[in-house]
Each structure stands twice: as structure tokens, then as C-alpha cells.
A and B are shown apart, each in its own frame.
Chain A
Amino acid sequence: MSSTATTGSTAQVRVPRAGNTPPSTSKAPFDWRRLTHRPETGALVGTLSVFIFFATFGGAQFLSTGGTASWLNIAAELAIIALPVGLLMIAGEFDLSVGSVVAASSVTLALVSGTYGAPAIVGVAAALAVGLLVGFVNGYIVSRSKVPSFIVTLAMQFALAGLTLGIARLITGSTSIPLTADPVSKAIFGTLIAGQFGVAIFWAVGIALVVAWILQMTKYGNWIFATGGDAESARAAGIPVRKVKIGLFMGSALGASLVGIIQTMLYNGAQTGVGQSFVFNSVIAVVVGGVLLTGGYGSVVGVALGCLTFAVVNQGIYYTGWNSDWASLILGILLLVAVLMNNTFRRLALSSGTGKSKAKK
């Protein structure tokens, strides 16, 4: 399979050269070959495929406003976590602690503003501070020790879950803490617009724009790619690799905190067990979105598409009338296919430029 892909690409490259077009003018028409050189191409194919699949089998209900809202809401909450996690993974690190950060932030908000009755803004600030602190600790340990982030954040995931549960029980004697939010904070974090679309969708879009700007347009984006590509060379080129990593760990934890706040406001309270599904779901969304698991390659558009793909499969299954048990099977297969497809696209991108010289040799 790989050999056919390679020969296909060399043949494609040779076509315009035969026509004697100078390379500078070949930019004018839309170049389909360039599309295969983007990390999000595979993700786009994935999103379109699952959408068409469930639009076909889920019918009008899946395409209705309610159906659309159901997967958009899932995608939005996932994206708030997966987008910063995606940046972190492009820089070559994992964050498996996001699940517990959601729970810890949620419980913090409910305790501060619910149990102790402080203004919502204080609770929100405290919840975000918890996220930033956890992210900093993750980043500090990973960049100071040589322990892989997989282990550090896995340890954090368990330790923080235990801490959250312990504190919640100690203070309230319960794993469920109620919170009655004031209308303004509820409107900002936890309303359903038109009774269906969560405000999280706007948060997700805003975060996507900011993260995309950072990654594609600023020098920090370049630092992130370089850190993930080869941390040693990045350091030699004068990039503060440790700071980049600590910042990104704080970013992913901040995203998780925000989801914790949104869920607490939306459901009027905190549960100590919420958010655990985000740990693997965010990794699935990021990888389906075309981010290289070992770092150095990926895009924000890809991660956003990965979140949509995940949400469409997760929700679409209910509209098909089939047993929802099958959703995980589809997601598992999708993950594997996505990784294989992304590998092929990446190989195409790498072989494209040398097409001519390789063909000659």
C-alpha cells in the first residue's frame, strides 16, 4: 500500500513539470496537491465521511436542529480541552490529567461559590487557579526530571482525583456539591441558547481562533513545532524549551478547568467523578485531527475537525436507531484508520519536494 502511495505522488509531481510551467506561476489555480501536504487533510476526510454516514443512516433527525446541537455541544466541550492538548502534543508531550482537572475545578467552584457562598467570580477564579497550578506542576516536573509526561500526568490524574474526592467528602460529606449560580455567570458559562446550543460552542470557537493564531502566526508557534520536532536542537537554537512546555501544560489544564466551570454552571453543581472521559477522548480527537503522536506536526484546524468527528460518531449513533454500544467500536476503528491515513498524508508531504530527483535516480 505504501509503495503505491509513493509512486502516485512522484507521478503527480512530474505532470506540471512536463508542461514547462515555471514553479512561481503554478500558484495561481487551486492546487489540489498542496492539500495533501496539510496535516488536517486526513481529518477533513474523516469528518466528512462520518457526517455523510450518519446523515444517511440517522436521517432527518440527525440533521435537525436538535440533532446538530447534540453533537455540536459535545464537540465544543471536547474542543476546549483538545485544542490546548493538541498544542501540547505538537510540542511532544501528553496530558492525561485533564480528567481530574475538570473534576477538581468543578468541585473548587462549587465549594467556593456554593458551599461557602462566595461570589461566582471568586469561585471561577479559584477554579482556574487550580487548573493553572496543576498545569504548572505537571510542566515543572516533566521539564526538570526526565520522567515521561505520560507517567507524570497519569500520576497527577490519579492523585488529583483522590485529592478532589477526599476534600469534597471532608468538607461536605458528599460527592455531589450543589451550586446556584447568579444569572450573569450562568449566562456566560452555562446556558443553552435557544434551549439547545450550549455557550461552550462560543468558548470553543474563541479558543480555536486564539490557539490557531498562536500556532500558525506567532513565533511561539514556531517554538512549539521546534520543541516537538527535536527538543535538543530547539534548545541549541535558543528556544526556552522548558518554559514552552510549562506554558503548554498550563494551557491544557486551563482548558480543562474551563470545562469544569462550564459543566458546574450548566448542571448547577459539581460531581467528583465528572470529566474522566476527556482523558482519552481528547487524545482521540487530537490524533484523528492529524497531530503526530511523537510531536512536531499538526494543526489547529485538524484538531477542531477531530473533535467534530468524535462528536458526530458519539451522538450520531443515537439517531440511527442502533444500539449505542456500537459507538465505541466505530471510534476505535476510526482512530486506527485516521492514524494510518495521516501517516500516508505525512509521507506524501515529505516525499513531494524530492519527487523529481527521486524519479531521476
Chain B
Amino acid sequence: MVAPLLKLNDVSKSFAGSNALSEISLEVKPGEVLCLLGDNGAGKSTLIKVLSGVHKPTSGTIEVDGQQRVFESPKDAGDLGIATVHQYGGTFPLMSVARCFFVGEEPTKGVWPFHYFDKKTAGLITVQEMQKLGITRVTDGSRLVGSLSGGERQTLAIARAVYFGARVLILDEPTSALGVKQATHVLKIIMQARAQGIAVVFVTHNVMHAMAVGDQFAVLIHGEKADEFRKGERTREQITDLMAGGEAMAALEAELASLTGPVRLP
């Protein structure tokens, strides 16, 4: 058995007395994709913030490599190899891809006080790392991030995290804002990271995307873990019904259809 890389034990988080998360226990192993499913407001964002060191849990513990850890800041989590990529890639639209890739980790050249940011190397590495993840359209590190598509920006952020040694990759709704083709590309990259032995926490409300790549699944409802299962143990309908709060999606869909009526063409 492979030991879990990241483990949460009964983690709770409350803001001003109201519980955002209650007693969540999760674990993710190297080379595995853990899908966190939940509707809007289920507590996914809070959980991500706890995992990435933005919030400290009110109670419960976090273990990395079997050792108990307290994250004082995102930097602490980052130092242990936990990297978070946000929905819009956490990138800077008006910066060049090379500057963005190396932000906070700039390679420098020259002697003090004339240390300078080695933009040439930065550009070469950025282009090379993006090409590894299948983005061949970017050939120039000085291109502005804002000129990339949503999928390319996600790829840039993931490539950055992997390049700087991420062992746990937390992806916050990476496919939600993307078209079908780009979402597929991002899913492919998730599988690539998984194959490299990275533990991936894939946060989404899209059941199809989750089922395409997930090894293990956890469903959050109102800050509580409502269900937990491994690949193949649930059908898509079961998961959607659960996420919608137990109401049968099929019944809702039927009601919706009766309200809208048959579509009329002009």
C-alpha cells in the first residue's frame, strides 16, 4: 500500500460561529486523482483554502507524508510541494508568459548589485514546459498571458506548478470556464500529472469531468462529506442526485421540461 501524501483528519472550519466545514477526513496518494464534488456553496472553496494554507482549520489536523503539519501561510504549503491552481489560472493577463511562469521564482544572472532577471532562459523553459503539456502554439516567451485561451492559461499554471516541484496539485474548477475541447485537454494534462506520480485534488461540480479522470471521489454537501467512493462504485445519476441535495435530478428535469414545453421554431 502506498502511504497517503496528504491527509485530513476530522478537519472543521467555522467562520463567526457558522460551520463552513465539519469533520472532513480525506486522503490522497501519489499518482491518484481525488475528485472533490459539490454544488456551489458546498464548502469546496473553503476546503481548498485549508489545503493550500490560506485558512487554518478550526479543529482537526493535516498530515503531509504521515507527519502532522500546520500551515501558517500558502508559502508553508508550497514549501511542502502543495500547489494550488485557481479557476482562471491565477495568472496575470498583462504579463508575458515567461514572467508569469517564473513569478516569485525568477532565475537571475550577474553579480550583486547587478543581479538581473534572466528573461531568455525564462522564456526558453516556459515554452519548453508548455510544449511538454501539448501547447505548441506558444513559441515566444514574451507573449502576453492575456492572449492565451482559457485552456492554455490553465496549462501554463499547471506546467508552472509541476516545474517547481508540486507533489500535490490542487485544481480549483479547472474545466468549468472552458469549452469542450479545451476541457478535454486539461483532463488529459491531469492524467499526465497523475502518471508522473503527482497526487491530484480535482475540485469540480462537473460529474462527467470527474468521472473521466478520478480514482477516488468525495461529495461535499453543506460543508459535510456526504459520500465517499472509489472509481466505478457509483453511476453518474447517483452522483448527480446526491450533489443536488438528494432530490432526484430526473424529477427536476421532468418538471423543467413541463414548464418550458416543446420548442417552437420560427
A residues bordering B, Cβ < 8 Å? 23-24, 37, 213, 217-219, 221-223, 225-226, 229-230, 233-239, 292, 296-297, 346, 349-354, 357
Contact = CB atoms under 8 A, between A and B. Distances in A.
A353 B148 contact: yes
Given A24-B139, A296-B92, A296-B95, A354 B104 contact: no
Contact of B94 (A222, A292, A353, A357): A292
B117 A217 contact: yes
B117 A222 contact: yes
Contacts of B222: none
A354 B92 contact: no
Interface in B108-124: 108, 115-117
A226 B147 contact: no
Given A229-B95, A346-B94, A234 B147 contact: no
**Nearest 9 A/B pairs, CB to CB:** A353-B147, A229-B92, A219-B106, A237-B104, A238-B104, A297-B94, A350-B146, A233-B90, A217-B116
Contact of A218 (B94, B102, B117): B117
Interface residues of B, number: 33
Interface string B55-90: 000000000000000000011001000001010001
A237 B103 CA distance: 7
27 contacts: A37-B144, A218-B116, A218-B117, A219-B106, A221-B117, A222-B102, A225-B92, A226-B92, A226-B95, A226-B103, A229-B94, A230-B90, A230-B92, A233-B86, A233-B90, A233-B91, A236-B90, A237-B90, A238-B104, A346-B94, A349-B147, A350-B94, A350-B147, A352-B143, A352-B147, A353-B148, A354-B149
A225 B147 contact: no
A354 B148 contact: yes
B237 interface: no
Contacts of A353: 138, 143-144, 147-148
A300 to B, nearest CB: 15
Given A24-B139, A225-B94, A296-B92, 11 more contacts: A222-B106, A222-B117, A233-B90, A234-B103, A235-B74, A236-B84, A296-B93, A296-B95, A350-B144, A350-B146, A354-B149
A229 B149 contact: no
B140 interface: yes
B167 interface: no
A238 B75 CA distance: 6
B104 A225 contact: no
Contacts of A236: 52, 74, 84, 90
Contacts of A223: 103-104
A296 B99 CA distance: 12
Interface in B140-188: 140, 143-144, 146-149
Contacts of A239: 103-104
Interface of B: 52, 74-75, 78, 84, 86, 90-95, 99-100, 102-106, 108, 115-117, 137-140, 143-144, 146-149
Nearest to B160: A237
Nearest to A232: B90
Given A217-B117, A235-B74, A23 B139 contact: yes
B147 A354 contact: yes
B147 A351 contact: yes
From A222, A233, A239, A296, residue with most partner B Cβ within 10 Å = A222
A221 B108 CA distance: 12
A218 B112 CA distance: 11
Given A24-B139, A296-B95, A350-B144, A219 B84 contact: no
B94 A296 contact: yes
A297 B100 CA distance: 13
Contacts of B100: 226
A90 to B, nearest CB: 10
A234 B144 contact: no
From A213, A350, A351, residue with most partner B Cβ within 10 Å = A350
A275 B105 CA distance: 40
Nearest to B122: A222
B86 A357 contact: no
Contacts of B75: 238
B149 A357 contact: yes
Nearest to B139: A23
Contacts of B103: 222-223, 226, 234, 237, 239
A23 B102 CA distance: 23
Contacts of A357: 137, 149
A349 B144 contact: yes
A349 B144 CA distance: 7
Nearest to A229: B92
Contacts of B148: 353-354
B84 A23 contact: no
Nearest to B115: A218
A349 B94 CA distance: 9
Contacts of B78: 238
A296 B116 CA distance: 20
A354 B91 CA distance: 17
A352 B145 CA distance: 11
Contacts of B90: 230, 233, 236-237
Nearest to A219: B106
Nearest to A297: B94
A217 B116 CA distance: 5
Nearest to A354: B147
Contacts of A233: 86, 90-92
